[in-house]
Amino acid sequence: MPHAYKAMSSETFVCVGILDEPVEWGDQKIRAIFLVCIADKDHTSVELQHFYQLTASFLLSQKQIQELVKKQDYDAFIKAMTQMEEAQIM
């Protein structure tokens, strides 16, 4: 997950890219890329910490990543993230 070393934006957002063909990243081949940009005003917020925990859980789930690459669908991605968030709350 590429990210800037410091907050550099007036808005917090995430861009997700799904590659047609995998690229090598170290000793792994990847097809999903998450580019995160955190606003200076958000860099210490509780919501941001929650976002990082949820995103890490998603990225560490091989099943979730495979489904994202397979479906390449925004609504399916949001649904999966929502389900993961609900599972963390319980």
Token pair, residue 17, equals 């890219």
pTM of the complete model beyond 0.85: no
Looking at residue 38, its pLDDT comes to 79
Regions of the chain short of the pLDDT cut 70: 1-8, 42-43, 89-90
Looking at residue 19, its pLDDT comes to 93
Cα 4 versus chain centre, distance: 14
Give the torsion sign (CA, 4, 17, 65, 44): positive
Identify which of 32, 43, 35 has the alpha carbon closest to the alpha carbon of residue 14: 35
Looking at residue 18, its pLDDT comes to 93
